[in-house]
Amino acid sequence: MKMNRRDFLKLTGTGTILGLAGLGLFERVTEEAIAAQFSKDAKALNAKRWAMIVDLRKFKTEEDYRRIINACHSVHNVPDFGNPKDEIKWLWTDTYEHSFPGQEHEFMPEWLEKKPIPLLCNHCANPPCVRVCPVKATFKSPDGITQQDYHRCIGCRFCMAACPYGARSFNWRDPRPFIKKTNNEFPTRTKGVVEKCNFCTERLAKGLKPACVEESNGALIFGDLMDPDSEVRQVLRKDFTIRRKAELGTQPSVFYIIGGSENV
C-alpha cells in the first residue's frame, strides 16, 4: 500500500493525540491507585508531637526491661553482634550516673545507683542530628518523630557526633546474618547506614502503640504532647519528671519519672 504525505500526517497526528490522551488517562489512574495505596489507614494513630514517659517506679524486675527491649529489637530486625564495637541498639539500659551525667552524687540511695534506666532516641523537638545531616536522611515528620531514611543515608555519621544521647547506631558491617529471626513486616538494613528508634512509626500507622509500650505493663506511657487531654499530659501535670540533658536546648520528648522510696 502506498501512502501519500497527507494521509501519513493525518494518521500520525491522530495516533499521537490518542497516545497522549491514553498516557494521560493511564497516569491519572495509576496515580490514584498509588495514592490509594499510600493513603492513611483510618485506624492510624495521629498526634502533633508524640512523646513518652518512662515510669521507673513500675520497672521492678530484670524481666520488665528484657521484655520491652526484646519487643523492640525483634520487631525492628535489630541485629545482635555480641560485641560493643559493632553494637546496634534502639532501646537499652544504663545506670542513672550514665543516663543523667552530672546529676549523680555520692549520697544517692543505693537503689538508684543500681537501677537500670531505659534509654532510647528522645525524638527531640530541636534535634541536632537533623540539623547536621547533609542529605536530609534524618528528618522530623509532622507527628514529631525523628525519622531515618535508610535509603538516602550516605553513612557520614555526622548525626552520631551530633546526638548528645548516644541514641544512634551505625551498621559497621552487614547486619543481616546477625538478626536472630527476621520480621518480614519491617525492612532490614544494609551496611553503612545509621539507624535508631523510630517510635514505631510503622505501628502507629496501623493504629498500634509502640511495641515497647505495649509490652511495658503501663511503665511506658505514650501519647500526644500537644493534646492537653492525652495520658502523657495528665501524668506530666501530676508527677515530677526530668529529661536527659534538657539544658542543651534539644527539647527531648522522652520524660522520666524517677520516683522515690517506692522503688526500694
Residues that bind other proteins (CB under 8 A): 84-88, 94, 97-99, 101-102, 128, 131-137, 152-158, 160-166, 169-174, 190-194, 245, 248-250
Give the CA diameter of the chain.
Answer: 103
State the minimum distance, in angstroms, from the CB of residue 62 to other proteins. Answer: 20
State the minimum distance, in angstroms, from the CB of residue 197 to other proteins. Answer: 14
Name the residue nearer to other proteins (CB basis): 28 or 152: 152
State the minimum distance, in angstroms, from the CB of residue 67 to other proteins. Answer: 23
Positive or negative, the CA dihedral 193, 198, 200, 202 is: negative
How far does the chain reach from its first CA to its final CA, in angstroms?
98
State the minimum distance, in angstroms, from the CB of residue 101 to other proteins. Answer: 4
State the minimum distance, in angstroms, from the CB of residue 190 to other proteins. Answer: 8
Helix (H/G/I), strand (E/B), else coil: 153: coil
Name the residue nearer to other proteins (CB basis): 85 or 238: 85
State the minimum distance, in angstroms, from the CB of residue 95 to other proteins. Answer: 9
Name the residue nearer to other proteins (CB basis): 146 or 230: 146
Residue spans of alpha helices (H) in the chain: 5-38, 62-75, 96-99, 110-114, 128-132, 158-162, 201-204, 211-214, 231-238
Name the residue nearer to other proteins (CB basis): 47 or 153: 153
> Which residue matches cell numbers 502503640?
209
Name the residue nearer to other proteins (CB basis): 15 or 155: 155
Buried b (16+ CB within 10 A) or exposed e, 221-238: bbbbbeeeebebbebbee
CB 118 within 8 A of CB 52: no
Task: Give 5's contacts (C-beta < 8 A, 6+ positions apart).
Answer: none
Name the residue nearer to other proteins (CB basis): 102 or 142: 102
Cα(262)–Cα(60) distance, integer angstroms: 10
